[in-house]
């Protein structure tokens, strides 16, 4: 799987100069530098995690329904992020410890975000899906006030557990071409991560990816469902430091 490391110092800097807790005029929000560069790179060398083989072949597939822990959710999610969780999982006692830590973290996230997001715990990973709708307009990538409020809450939890990596995955509905949607989703992910950086989250923790219109969790057959598909998801994984702590404690 390819990831994109964020050049947070140069991507849409003008968007978030007001900081995490201050509001800005909508006209200034849209004054973005479309020529800002994004650096694309392979995940090799970015996330220095030695992955253990998947213990369940079904988990290693791209489309897996999460059934371990689902909070505040009435539908079965079909997340390609399952492959990433499996890829960076650890066998044995250390993996069990990290899974327990992340399960507790997922409960804290859900308590804080249960009105704005769906929180799912699966093994050593936690997924936060901003799927309640009203995050982006059609073909839009500017964060509205509801999206900013949700991201501020997420930032609070990320500050409580600094020894984690955060993969930010942008998503779209099925409007427009697949190529356009892939670029749009990437931009949404970059902007959401940049906003979290403005909330005090270290940029070294972020990776961004684009799912575009692929893997929709809601059929794009209604306005409500398309609205819920226009979003950003976050995969939170243990950092190398956390893995070392688990290995020492095991």
User: pLDDT at position 250, please?
Assistant: 84
Q: Per-residue pLDDT tens for 92-132?
A: 999 999 999 999 999 999 999 988 899 999 889 999 999 88
- Of 67 and 49, more confident: 67
Q: Per-residue pLDDT tens for 140-155?
A: 899 999 999 999 999 9
Spatial distance between the Cα atoms of 181 and 79, rounded to a whole number of angstroms: 18
Q: Which residues contact 126 (CB under 8 A, 6 or more apart)?
A: 102, 105, 106, 109, 119, 120, 235, 236
Residue pair 7/208 in contact (Cβ under 8 Å)? The answer is: no
User: pLDDT at position 79, please?
Assistant: 60
Q: How many CB atoms lie within 10 A of CB 240?
A: 13
Spatial distance between the Cα atoms of 220 and 213, rounded to a whole number of angstroms: 10
* pTM score: 0.75
- Of 206 and 61, more confident: 206
Q: Per-residue pLDDT tens for 5-19?
A: 444 433 333 333 345
Q: Per-residue pLDDT tens for 26-39?
A: 323 332 333 333 33
- As a whole number, mean pLDDT of residues 203-225 equals 90
Q: CATH assignment of 2-17+26-249, given 3.40.50.10860, 3.40.1080.10, 3.40.50.800, 3.30.1330.60?
A: 3.30.1330.60
pLDDT band at 56 (very low <50, low <70, confident <90, very high): very low
């Amino acid at each position: 799987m390819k990831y994109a490391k964020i050049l947070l110092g140069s991507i849409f800097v003008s968007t978030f100069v007001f900081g995490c807790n201050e509001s800005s005029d909508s006209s200034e929000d849209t004054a973005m530098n479309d020529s800002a560069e994004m650096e694309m790179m392979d995940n090799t060398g970015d996330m220095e995690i030695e992955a253990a083989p998947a213990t369940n072949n079904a988990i290693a597939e791209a489309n897996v329904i999460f059934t371990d822990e689902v909070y505040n959710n009435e539908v079965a999610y079909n997340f390609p992020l399952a492959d990433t969780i499996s890829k960076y999982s650890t066998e044995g006692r250390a993996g069990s410890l990290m899974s327990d830590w992340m399960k507790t973290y997922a409960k804290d996230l859900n308590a804080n975000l249960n009105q704005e997001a769906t929180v799912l715990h699966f093994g050593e990973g936690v997924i936060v899906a901003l799927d309640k709708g009203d995050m982006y307009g059609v073909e839009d990538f500017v964060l509205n006030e509801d999206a900013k409020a949700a991201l501020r809450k997420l930032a609070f939890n990320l500050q409580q557990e600094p020894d984690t990596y955060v993969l930010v995955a942008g998503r779209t509905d099925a409007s427009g071409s697949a190529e356009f949607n892939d670029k749009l989703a990437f931009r949404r992910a970059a902007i959401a991560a940049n906003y979290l950086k403005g909330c005090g989250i270290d940029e070294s923790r972020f990776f961004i990816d684009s799912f575009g219109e692929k893997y929709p969790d809601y059929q794009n057959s209604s306005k409500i469902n398309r609205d819920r598909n226009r979003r950003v998801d976050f995969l939170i994984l243990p950092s190398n430091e956390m893995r070392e702590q688990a290995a020492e404690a095991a």
